[in-house]
Amino acid sequence: MFKLNPQILAHKSILDKGTFVLPNYILSKKENKVKLLRRYCPHRQYPLHKPGDIIDSIQCNFHNFKWNIDGSPINNDRNLNCGEIKISQTGLITRDFVETENIWTSMLASEKNLKYSHSTYGISSGSWLWMMEIQCDLLHIYQGPNSIHPTFSKETNLDQVEMYEGDGYALQTTSTGWWLLIFPYTFIEWSPGCLAINYTIPKNNNEEFGFEWTTQFYYDLLTTDSKKRNFETLEEVFLEDVAAIEQQKVPYFPLLKTDNRLEKHCVTFGEWVLKNKK
Protein backbone atom coordinates (compact mmCIF):
# COMPACT_ATOMS: atom_id res chain seq x y z
CA MET A 1 0.00 0.00 0.00
CA PHE A 2 2.89 2.37 0.77
CA LYS A 3 6.25 3.08 -0.82
CA LEU A 4 7.79 3.28 2.66
CA ASN A 5 7.13 0.68 5.35
CA PRO A 6 9.50 1.35 8.27
CA GLN A 7 9.18 -1.08 11.16
CA ILE A 8 10.24 -1.01 14.80
CA LEU A 9 10.48 -4.68 15.72
CA ALA A 10 11.72 -4.70 19.31
CA HIS A 11 14.27 -3.38 21.81
CA LYS A 12 17.64 -5.15 21.88
CA SER A 13 17.08 -6.48 25.40
CA ILE A 14 14.48 -8.87 23.98
CA LEU A 15 17.43 -10.99 22.82
CA ASP A 16 19.24 -11.18 26.16
CA LYS A 17 17.88 -14.68 26.77
CA GLY A 18 18.29 -15.97 23.23
CA THR A 19 16.62 -16.16 19.83
CA PHE A 20 13.16 -14.56 20.08
CA VAL A 21 9.99 -15.26 18.09
CA LEU A 22 7.84 -12.33 16.95
CA PRO A 23 4.50 -12.56 15.10
CA ASN A 24 6.18 -11.91 11.76
CA TYR A 25 9.88 -12.74 12.27
CA ILE A 26 12.36 -14.71 14.31
CA LEU A 27 15.17 -12.51 15.68
CA SER A 28 18.62 -14.04 16.07
CA LYS A 29 21.44 -11.93 17.54
CA LYS A 30 25.04 -12.00 16.36
CA GLU A 31 27.39 -9.47 18.00
CA ASN A 32 25.75 -6.04 17.44
CA LYS A 33 23.64 -7.16 14.52
CA VAL A 34 20.35 -9.00 14.33
CA LYS A 35 19.56 -11.64 11.77
CA LEU A 36 15.99 -11.56 10.54
CA LEU A 37 14.46 -14.99 9.87
CA ARG A 38 11.10 -15.86 8.38
CA ARG A 39 8.57 -17.20 10.91
CA TYR A 40 6.61 -19.10 8.29
CA CYS A 41 8.01 -22.28 6.81
CA PRO A 42 8.96 -21.69 3.15
CA HIS A 43 7.70 -25.17 2.29
CA ARG A 44 3.95 -24.78 3.02
CA GLN A 45 3.84 -21.50 5.03
CA TYR A 46 3.19 -23.15 8.39
CA PRO A 47 4.10 -20.92 11.39
CA LEU A 48 7.40 -21.71 13.08
CA HIS A 49 7.01 -21.51 16.87
CA LYS A 50 4.72 -19.20 18.82
CA PRO A 51 5.25 -15.44 19.25
CA GLY A 52 6.98 -14.86 22.56
CA ASP A 53 8.93 -18.14 22.45
CA ILE A 54 12.66 -18.10 23.21
CA ILE A 55 14.20 -20.90 21.16
CA ASP A 56 17.53 -22.68 20.65
CA SER A 57 16.50 -24.53 17.50
CA ILE A 58 13.92 -24.07 14.74
CA GLN A 59 11.50 -26.77 13.67
CA CYS A 60 8.34 -26.87 11.58
CA ASN A 61 5.80 -29.18 13.20
CA PHE A 62 3.95 -29.68 9.91
CA HIS A 63 6.58 -31.74 8.04
CA ASN A 64 9.42 -31.80 10.62
CA PHE A 65 11.74 -29.54 8.64
CA LYS A 66 14.56 -28.18 10.83
CA TRP A 67 16.96 -25.23 10.81
CA ASN A 68 19.89 -23.90 12.77
CA ILE A 69 19.45 -20.69 14.76
CA ASP A 70 21.10 -18.73 11.93
CA GLY A 71 18.34 -19.91 9.56
CA SER A 72 20.45 -22.40 7.63
CA PRO A 73 18.66 -25.66 6.78
CA ILE A 74 19.39 -28.97 8.49
CA ASN A 75 17.17 -31.53 6.73
CA ASN A 76 15.92 -29.49 3.75
CA ASP A 77 17.24 -27.02 1.18
CA ARG A 78 15.33 -23.84 2.15
CA ASN A 79 17.02 -20.97 4.00
CA LEU A 80 14.99 -18.87 6.45
CA ASN A 81 17.30 -15.85 6.40
CA CYS A 82 15.70 -12.67 5.04
CA GLY A 83 18.22 -10.03 6.03
CA GLU A 84 20.47 -8.59 8.69
CA ILE A 85 19.82 -5.35 10.53
CA LYS A 86 21.77 -3.25 13.01
CA ILE A 87 20.74 -2.24 16.50
CA SER A 88 20.23 1.53 16.58
CA GLN A 89 21.75 4.01 19.04
CA THR A 90 18.57 3.88 21.12
CA GLY A 91 18.66 0.08 21.33
CA LEU A 92 15.71 -0.36 18.96
CA ILE A 93 15.76 -3.15 16.39
CA THR A 94 14.41 -1.56 13.22
CA ARG A 95 13.80 -2.36 9.58
CA ASP A 96 13.76 0.28 6.82
CA PHE A 97 13.85 3.05 9.43
CA VAL A 98 16.49 5.79 9.64
CA GLU A 99 16.90 6.96 13.23
CA THR A 100 18.04 10.58 13.43
CA GLU A 101 19.01 12.45 16.59
CA ASN A 102 15.95 13.82 18.34
CA ILE A 103 14.56 14.58 21.78
CA TRP A 104 13.15 11.06 22.05
CA THR A 105 16.31 9.32 20.86
CA SER A 106 18.47 10.88 23.58
CA MET A 107 15.94 9.94 26.28
CA LEU A 108 15.63 6.35 25.11
CA ALA A 109 19.39 5.97 24.58
CA SER A 110 19.89 6.92 28.24
CA GLU A 111 18.04 3.73 29.28
CA LYS A 112 20.87 1.27 29.90
CA ASN A 113 19.13 -1.37 32.00
CA LEU A 114 15.86 -2.15 30.24
CA LYS A 115 14.80 -5.78 30.33
CA TYR A 116 12.07 -7.44 28.31
CA SER A 117 9.03 -8.25 30.45
CA HIS A 118 6.21 -9.68 28.32
CA SER A 119 4.05 -9.18 25.24
CA THR A 120 0.34 -8.93 24.58
CA TYR A 121 -1.43 -9.77 21.33
CA GLY A 122 -4.75 -8.99 19.70
CA ILE A 123 -6.72 -9.06 16.48
CA SER A 124 -9.22 -6.64 14.97
CA SER A 125 -11.54 -6.47 11.97
CA GLY A 126 -11.19 -2.68 11.84
CA SER A 127 -9.06 -0.41 9.66
CA TRP A 128 -5.43 -0.22 10.70
CA LEU A 129 -5.25 3.21 9.04
CA TRP A 130 -8.02 4.51 11.29
CA MET A 131 -6.14 2.80 14.14
CA MET A 132 -2.98 4.74 13.41
CA GLU A 133 -4.86 8.01 13.13
CA ILE A 134 -6.55 7.52 16.48
CA GLN A 135 -3.09 7.13 18.02
CA CYS A 136 -2.26 10.56 16.53
CA ASP A 137 -5.53 12.11 17.69
CA LEU A 138 -5.34 13.98 21.01
CA LEU A 139 -8.72 15.65 20.51
CA HIS A 140 -10.59 12.42 21.27
CA ILE A 141 -9.08 12.30 24.78
CA TYR A 142 -11.73 14.60 26.26
CA GLN A 143 -13.60 14.52 29.55
CA GLY A 144 -17.31 13.96 29.48
CA PRO A 145 -20.08 11.37 29.54
CA ASN A 146 -19.74 8.45 27.10
CA SER A 147 -16.20 9.48 26.12
CA ILE A 148 -13.95 6.85 24.55
CA HIS A 149 -11.41 7.11 27.39
CA PRO A 150 -13.35 7.88 30.59
CA THR A 151 -10.36 7.23 32.90
CA PHE A 152 -7.51 8.35 30.65
CA SER A 153 -9.24 11.66 29.91
CA LYS A 154 -9.28 12.51 33.62
CA GLU A 155 -5.59 11.76 34.10
CA THR A 156 -4.11 13.49 31.04
CA ASN A 157 -3.69 17.26 30.96
CA LEU A 158 -3.84 18.01 27.24
CA ASP A 159 -2.79 21.62 27.79
CA GLN A 160 0.64 20.33 28.84
CA VAL A 161 1.20 18.06 25.84
CA GLU A 162 3.88 19.34 23.45
CA MET A 163 3.70 18.22 19.83
CA TYR A 164 6.53 17.68 17.37
CA GLU A 165 6.67 16.07 13.94
CA GLY A 166 9.16 15.15 11.24
CA ASP A 167 9.47 13.04 8.12
CA GLY A 168 7.41 9.96 8.91
CA TYR A 169 6.85 10.46 12.62
CA ALA A 170 4.87 12.39 15.23
CA LEU A 171 6.01 12.93 18.82
CA GLN A 172 3.84 13.97 21.77
CA THR A 173 5.53 14.73 25.08
CA THR A 174 3.88 14.78 28.51
CA SER A 175 5.06 15.47 32.05
CA THR A 176 5.69 11.73 32.51
CA GLY A 177 7.31 10.81 29.18
CA TRP A 178 6.34 10.67 25.50
CA TRP A 179 4.27 8.97 22.82
CA LEU A 180 5.94 8.37 19.45
CA LEU A 181 4.18 7.38 16.25
CA ILE A 182 6.29 6.05 13.40
CA PHE A 183 4.14 5.75 10.28
CA PRO A 184 2.47 3.57 9.25
CA TYR A 185 2.65 0.76 11.83
CA THR A 186 4.26 1.70 15.15
CA PHE A 187 3.26 3.36 18.42
CA ILE A 188 5.89 3.66 21.18
CA GLU A 189 5.35 4.91 24.72
CA TRP A 190 8.16 5.78 27.12
CA SER A 191 8.40 6.88 30.72
CA PRO A 192 11.66 6.72 32.71
CA GLY A 193 12.34 3.04 33.33
CA CYS A 194 9.41 1.91 31.15
CA LEU A 195 9.09 1.22 27.41
CA ALA A 196 6.23 -0.19 25.32
CA ILE A 197 6.45 -0.95 21.60
CA ASN A 198 3.13 -1.52 19.86
CA TYR A 199 3.01 -2.39 16.19
CA THR A 200 0.32 -3.29 13.73
CA ILE A 201 0.47 -6.30 11.42
CA PRO A 202 -2.02 -5.88 8.54
CA LYS A 203 -3.88 -8.99 7.43
CA ASN A 204 -3.03 -7.85 3.92
CA ASN A 205 -0.56 -5.01 3.29
CA ASN A 206 -2.68 -3.83 0.36
CA GLU A 207 -5.94 -3.72 2.33
CA GLU A 208 -6.77 -1.59 5.34
CA PHE A 209 -9.39 -3.70 7.12
CA GLY A 210 -8.20 -6.51 9.35
CA PHE A 211 -5.04 -6.50 11.44
CA GLU A 212 -3.21 -8.03 14.36
CA TRP A 213 -1.14 -6.15 16.89
CA THR A 214 1.44 -6.87 19.54
CA THR A 215 2.64 -4.73 22.45
CA GLN A 216 6.01 -5.46 24.06
CA PHE A 217 6.75 -4.20 27.58
CA TYR A 218 10.23 -3.45 28.92
CA TYR A 219 11.28 -2.24 32.37
CA ASP A 220 14.37 -1.12 34.22
CA LEU A 221 15.20 -3.49 37.07
CA LEU A 222 14.57 -0.66 39.56
CA THR A 223 11.09 0.19 38.25
CA THR A 224 8.52 -0.40 40.98
CA ASP A 225 5.57 -2.74 40.58
CA SER A 226 3.15 0.14 41.12
CA LYS A 227 4.72 2.13 38.27
CA LYS A 228 4.56 -0.95 36.04
CA ARG A 229 0.86 -1.39 36.78
CA ASN A 230 0.19 2.26 36.03
CA PHE A 231 2.23 2.13 32.81
CA GLU A 232 0.39 -0.95 31.59
CA THR A 233 -2.94 0.87 31.63
CA LEU A 234 -1.88 1.89 28.12
CA GLU A 235 -3.07 -1.55 27.01
CA GLU A 236 -6.55 -0.75 28.34
CA VAL A 237 -6.45 2.56 26.48
CA PHE A 238 -5.36 0.78 23.29
CA LEU A 239 -8.28 -1.68 23.58
CA GLU A 240 -10.65 1.27 23.94
CA ASP A 241 -9.19 2.68 20.72
CA VAL A 242 -9.67 -0.67 18.97
CA ALA A 243 -13.32 -0.71 20.02
CA ALA A 244 -13.74 2.84 18.66
CA ILE A 245 -12.18 2.23 15.23
CA GLU A 246 -14.17 -0.97 14.73
CA GLN A 247 -17.23 1.25 14.56
CA GLN A 248 -15.67 3.25 11.70
CA LYS A 249 -16.87 1.12 8.80
CA VAL A 250 -15.89 3.44 5.95
CA PRO A 251 -12.40 3.39 4.41
CA TYR A 252 -9.89 5.81 5.88
CA PHE A 253 -9.65 9.32 4.43
CA PRO A 254 -7.04 11.90 5.50
CA LEU A 255 -7.86 14.91 7.63
CA LEU A 256 -6.59 17.81 5.51
CA LYS A 257 -6.88 20.72 7.93
CA THR A 258 -7.87 21.52 11.50
CA ASP A 259 -8.44 24.53 13.68
CA ASN A 260 -7.69 22.60 16.87
CA ARG A 261 -4.06 21.91 17.72
CA LEU A 262 -5.01 18.54 19.27
CA GLU A 263 -5.75 17.19 15.78
CA LYS A 264 -2.50 18.46 14.33
CA HIS A 265 -0.87 15.05 14.08
CA CYS A 266 -3.94 13.60 12.36
CA VAL A 267 -3.14 16.01 9.54
CA THR A 268 0.55 15.02 9.73
CA PHE A 269 -0.40 11.37 9.31
CA GLY A 270 -2.86 12.14 6.51
CA GLU A 271 -0.18 14.06 4.60
CA TRP A 272 2.21 11.12 4.98
CA VAL A 273 -0.44 8.72 3.65
CA LEU A 274 -1.11 10.87 0.57
CA LYS A 275 2.60 11.32 -0.09
CA ASN A 276 3.62 7.68 0.29
CA LYS A 277 0.65 5.74 -1.03
CA LYS A 278 1.46 3.68 -4.13
Secondary structure of 224-253 as H, E, C letters = CHHHHHHHCHHHHHHHHHHHHHCCCCCCCC
> What is the percent of the chain where pLDDT is above 90?
78
Radius of gyration of the chain (CA): 19
Q: How many helices (H) and strands (E) are present in the chain, helices listed first?
A: 6, 16
Q: What is the CATH number of domain 100-276?
A: 3.90.380.10
Are the C-beta atoms of 22 and 40 separated by less than 8 Å?
no
Alpha helices in 69-223, H assignment, sequence order: 103-109, 128-136, 152-155
Residues 57, 222: Cα–Cα separation, whole Å: 33
How many angstroms separate the first and last alpha carbons of the chain? 6
Asked if 157 and 273 count as a contact pair (C-beta separation under 8 A), the reply is no
147 pLDDT band, cuts 50/70/90, is confident
pLDDT digits (tens, 9 = 90+) for 160-209: 899 999 889 999 999 899 999 999 999 999 999 999 999 999 999 899 99
Predicted confidence (pLDDT) per residue in 205-245, tens digit? 899 999 999 999 999 999 999 999 999 999 999 999 999 99
Exposed / middle / buried, residue 128 (Cβ in 10 Å: 0-12, 13-18, 19+): buried
Structural domain spans, the chain: 17-86, 100-276
Tell me if 189 sits within 8 A of 234, measured CB to CB. yes
**C-alpha to C-alpha distance for 118 and 215, rounded to whole angstroms:** 8
- 8-state DSSP, 43: T
pLDDT band (50, 70, 90) for residue 85 = confident
